[in-house]
Structure 1
Amino acid sequence: MTSHSDFWPHCGFHSLARDTRGWLLPTQAYFQWILARPELALVPESCAAEIALHQSLATSPLRSVAPQELVALVDDDARENYAVFLRFRDGLLAAGTLEAYYLQLMRSGAVDVPAVFIDAVVQALLRNLLDDCNDAFEARAAEMLFRPQRITLQEGQMLAGDRATLDMLNETAGLGEVGRLLLQSGALQPTAQVKVLSADNAAQYWQESDRHHFLLDLTHELTQDLSHGLTFKMTRARSGLKALARVLERWVAHLLGVQVQIEPVHQVTDSAWRWHVGLDVESTAILNDLYQDRPVEAERMQRLVSLFTLTFANPAEMRADVAGKPVYLGLATNAEGVVRIKPQNLLLNLPLASAS
């Protein structure tokens, strides 16, 4: 294991403070970081009113903004962006911590801020709960909770790659507009400047974490055919699914205060299967159909990346009717081969004895 440097340095984590519980407190510096994001940054077309508003908020991000200041903005999109920022800021300040804000927002069922803000909060939460993490595989697996992943099969390996990074490399070969033109002219072959995270290069992850160019190997078991028709299955020590399971355990412990153990499995053989949680839209639908004995086409079944069992360390923390039973989790791609984890599913849908 390699001791880590400061990973995800541009996620705003260092502008946050911690309370005695270890939860993250928003600060002026955090809102200044949000204001500097591309979604809110000034552009050449920004009108005088927008420039004045942006500059005053950058100096005093907690100041109240009068309705007429938004009305004065010429551009409709800019007006909406600042309204969203102020709603996000005020919600975060009212909740007190990023954790409390995230839980309240997801439990409300009325998510009124764009995904880009929610993903920023999730990344900060993960950076906080992984602050003592020395395992590059876990840090890379954690990226799956706030960045969509493209899943590819390559020589028997199931690899997860950052969708935005892979799409950019396919379009521009990493060379921007020049690369795009060269690719279109056929003068350049697309070369994915990505590498599979391994024990040999794990130390590089900490320095390069913001580039999102490491592929995570999600192959959990290796099957070796022996003579006489026997097969030997060996669980990989360095499984990306195992790393993801560890991250999800920390996620549940940090936000719900409940200790659980999560393990990747190949199939559900439990005839008394009582509870399941999909980690994304696709696996939720597949597990619901299987649970209801509805037919699932082979093409949809093949989208399942993995199943997991989740067990509570203390069965008394579960609902009485399912106490002691495993909870089954699913992870699947959509029709385009993309996994988009919804980390709130694990917080909202566990069979807890009482609301945490």
Structure 2
Amino acid sequence: MTTYWPSCGWELLQHDAHGRLLVTDDYLRHLLGRPELAPIAQSCDAEQALHRALLSEPRRSVADTELDRLQDADARANYAIWLRFRQRLLAQPTLEASYLQIFRSQVDVPPLLVHELTQVLLRQALGDACTPFEARAAEMLFRPQKIALPGDGQVMAADDDTVDRLAVASFGDLGELLRQAGAPLRSAELDVLRPEVEDDYWPRSEAHDWVLPIHHGQPGLEALCRVMERWIAQLLGLQVRVAVEREIDDEQWVWHVGLDAEASAVLNALYQGQEIESARMERMLCLFSLRFADPSAARPELAGHPVYLAMAMDAAQRLRLKPQNLLLNLPLARPS
């Protein structure tokens, strides 16, 4: 059995007959272990007592008066956020349903917790038979990426937090290389994930220090297609096929979904016939098509047409994918 992302809490969850994830007390305890909530030496007695009580009974109600007794304002705010997040998780029968409901209503969950929820759902979607390329591509759905364009059509994705961390830790040439737009990431001492070294990903799956080539013809891009397919299957129960495309066929273009804010804006403008400045077009990284295995799952106007997907980096060469767009913006015949 392949082990990866061991700290995401997936092993603490249960699942129903359909493979959907069920919240457990141990998973709630796992969330209580986040550094924003774990008591420190300076924590007041009330804060330490509340943390112990929740570890003992993770679903217990917490009165406002209990929060008011916490001396540290940040601690009060963090517990209020956690309790609201817990309410979101427990209000639905599965984690999948909770995730969808978070985005179908007013989003009041911080990105850190959304990313944590996304990761554990991806862990379930990918299962134990996924490849290193699929696991690394899946990281793109819950961790922002720094994009480099070394030339010759290459597109390289590195974990944005890792790049920043190494840049700060390394003064001189290394830090400068990491900060330069388009600097070759290999020269910044980050390993590039290639078929001949792919198994080295597993023991470092939580280091987030692999560079993933995502230009045409690379296994990383195909892996991202498979990840998106499994994500939709896990969350919506629908089978789709995602493929890399070179361009949009205008005669086939009836629906599109941007995988990030930048791509959404560009696709919307192009669809409306607007001119796009060349700098923005150059930031478009990849185009995909999505087709439903069962055509009746889509709205009638999509018959015979694909859904076009696209992703793009911003002006700072960062890619921030929004996997929720794949769930909320597809032209489904019936809401899932």
Q: Quick check: TM above 0.5?
A: yes
Aligned to 1:200: 196
Residues 275, 326 of structure 1: 8 Å contact kept: yes
Counterparts of 1:240 and 1:134 in 2: how far apart (Å)? 13
Please show how residues 84-99 of structure 1 align to structure 2 within 5 Å. Answer: 84-99=81-96
Asked whether 1:39 is paired with 2:19, we answer no
Shift of 1:272: 4.3
Aligned to 1:240: 220
Q: What secondary structure does 1:20 align onto?
A: coil
**1:81 counterpart letter in structure 2:** N
**Aligned with 2:102 (options 105, 111, 115):** 105
Residues 256, 307 of structure 2: 8 Å contact kept: yes
**1:25 counterpart letter in structure 2:** L
**1:195 counterpart letter in structure 2:** D
Counterparts of 1:272 and 1:142 in 2: how far apart (Å)? 28
The change in CA–CA distance for 1:354 and 1:189 in structure 2 (over 3 A counts) is closer
Residues 119, 142 of structure 2: 8 Å contact kept: yes
Single out whichever of 283-292 and 194-203 deviates more from structure 2.
Answer: 194-203
Aligned to 1:52: 49
What value does the CA root-mean-square deviation take over the aligned residues? Answer: 1.4
Residues 169, 193 of structure 1: 8 Å contact kept: no
Residues 170, 192 of structure 1: 8 Å contact kept: no
Which aligned runs of 4 or more in structure 1 are off by greater than 6 angstroms? none
Counterparts of 1:287 and 1:258 in 2: how far apart (Å)? 24
Counterparts of 2:16 and 2:215 in 1: how far apart (Å)? 39
**Aligned with 1:120 (options 105, 116, 123):** 116
Cα deviation code 1:141-172 (max 9, x no counterpart): 00000000000012432100000011101110
Q: What secondary structure does 1:271 align onto?
A: helix
Aligned to 1:148: 144
Residues 3, 128 of structure 2: 8 Å contact kept: no
Asked whether 1:13 is paired with 2:2, we answer no
**Aligned with 2:61 (options 41, 58, 64):** 64
Name the TM-score, length of structure 1 as normaliser. Answer: 0.88
Percent identity between the two aligned chains: 49
Please show how residues 151-166 of structure 1 align to structure 2 within 5 Å. Answer: 151-156=147-152, 157-166=154-163
**Aligned with 1:327 (options 295, 307, 314):** 307
Aligned to 2:182: none
Q: What secondary structure does 1:10 align onto?
A: helix
**1:41 counterpart letter in structure 2:** A
Shift of 1:56: 1.5
Aligned to 1:28: 25
Please show how residues 188-227 of structure 1 align to structure 2 within 5 Å. Answer: 189-190=174-175, 192-220=188-216
Q: What secondary structure does 1:62 align onto?
A: coil
Aligned to 1:298: 278
Name the TM-score, length of structure 2 as normaliser. Answer: 0.93
Gaps of 5+ in 1: 174-182, 221-235
Asked whether 1:281 is paired with 2:277, we answer no
Gaps of 5+ in 2: 176-186
Counterparts of 2:249 and 2:125 in 1: how far apart (Å)? 33
**Aligned with 1:351 (options 305, 314, 331):** 331
Aligned to 1:82: 79
